[in-house]
């Protein structure tokens, strides 16, 4: 029977959906597993999966690969071991029970074996799937609706991670009418680990006085990816010459600084 998937990733991961009168909810206590260890080593841990409802919840667990596919952080998933930076072949886990009783919980234990010679960062996701209910498709055939939540694995081989990148372009689109000023950023990740790029900006006048400040839209990039982002600033500046100083945080104490001059006529 075909399945329709509804997925979710949350701070404390929670999935709860109602379909045709059926409801299912799962929570996990570990939506992200960060591992930083030497190549050739083994790390173990556990994830708690809870069913906070008064009905039995079905449960299936499986691994997939993942990567960012846009600067906004949208993710793509694929069968385990098919993406270039997959960590899925390194991960084993205890097969969970097929159901979780009402108000019950199970503990899923996992082991990550990082092979000798591993370098940089590698990625996987452990999905927990439950059948929410069923609904008719366009042909009127009943199909299962499955909800799933995932715990993202980010595995870094200690001492081999390169966290670097470059601002390919930084352009300022001046305000026009009711349209605010826009800052367009193109970033390329030249390292071997994903980078959630955070940034901020200052706008200085000709005397060096700060006339505006703000945060730049966060960008997400996998190794060798080039991504674009846009930030709107709704403030107004009087006529004059200005300099924008943009600071980008690559993480782990590394940053990039760019300056751009512009004028308000």
pLDDT at 25: 73
Pick the CATH number of 165-264 from 3.40.50.620, 2.60.40.2360, 2.40.40.20, 2.40.10.10: 2.60.40.2360
Mean pLDDT by 10 residues, the chain (265 residues): 46 39 71 97 97 90 96 96 98 94 96 97 96 60 72 97 97 92 98 97 97 97 97 94 98 95 95
Cα–Cα distance, 147 to 244 (Å, whole number) = 46
pLDDT at 49: 95
Say which residues have a Cβ less than 8 Å from residue 253's Cβ, sequence separation at least 6: none
pLDDT at 16: 41
pLDDT at 116: 97
Nearest to 66 by CA among 9, 129, 145, 132: 9
Cα–Cα distance, 122 to 114 (Å, whole number) = 10
pTM beyond 0.75: the answer is yes
Name the fold adopted by 3-157.
Immunoglobulin-like (2.60.40)
Cα–Cα distance, 132 to 147 (Å, whole number) = 6
pLDDT at 15: 46
| 3-157 and 165-264, same CATH topology | yes
**Where do the structural domains in the chain lie, given as residue ranges?**
3-157, 165-264
Cα–Cα distance, 247 to 170 (Å, whole number) = 11
């Amino acid at each position: 029977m075909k399945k329709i998937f509804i997925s979710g990733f949350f701070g404390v991961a929670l999935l709860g959906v109602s379909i045709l009168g059926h409801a299912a909810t799962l929570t996990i206590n570990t939506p992200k597993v960060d591992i930083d260890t030497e190549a050739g080593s083994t790390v173990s841990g556990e994830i708690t999966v809870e069913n906070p409802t008064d009905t039995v919840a079905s449960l299936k667990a499986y691994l997939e690969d993942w990567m960012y596919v846009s600067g906004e952080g949208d993710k793509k998933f694929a069968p385990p071991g098919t993406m270039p930076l997959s960590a899925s072949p390194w991960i084993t886990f205890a097969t969970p029970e097929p159901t979780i009783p009402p108000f019950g919980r199970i503990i899923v234990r996992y082991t990550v074996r990082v092979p000798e010679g591993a370098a940089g960062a590698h990625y996987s996701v452990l999905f927990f799937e439950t059948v929410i209910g069923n609904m008719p498709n366009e042909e009127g055939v009943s199909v299962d609706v499955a909800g799933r939540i995932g715990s993202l694995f980010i595995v870094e081989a200690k001492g081999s991670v390169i966290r670097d990148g470059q601002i390919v372009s930084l352009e300022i689109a001046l305000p026009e009418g009711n349209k605010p000023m826009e800052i367009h950023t193109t970033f390329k990740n030249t390292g071997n680990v994903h980078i959630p790029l955070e940034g901020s900006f200052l706008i200085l006048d000709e005397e060096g006085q700060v006339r505006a400040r703000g945060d730049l839209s966060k960008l997400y990039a996998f190794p060798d990816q080039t991504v674009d982002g846009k930030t709107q600033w709704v403030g107004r500046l009087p006529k004059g010459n200005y300099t924008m100083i943009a600071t980008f945080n690559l993480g782990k104490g590394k940053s990039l600084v760019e300056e751009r001059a512009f004028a308000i006529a």
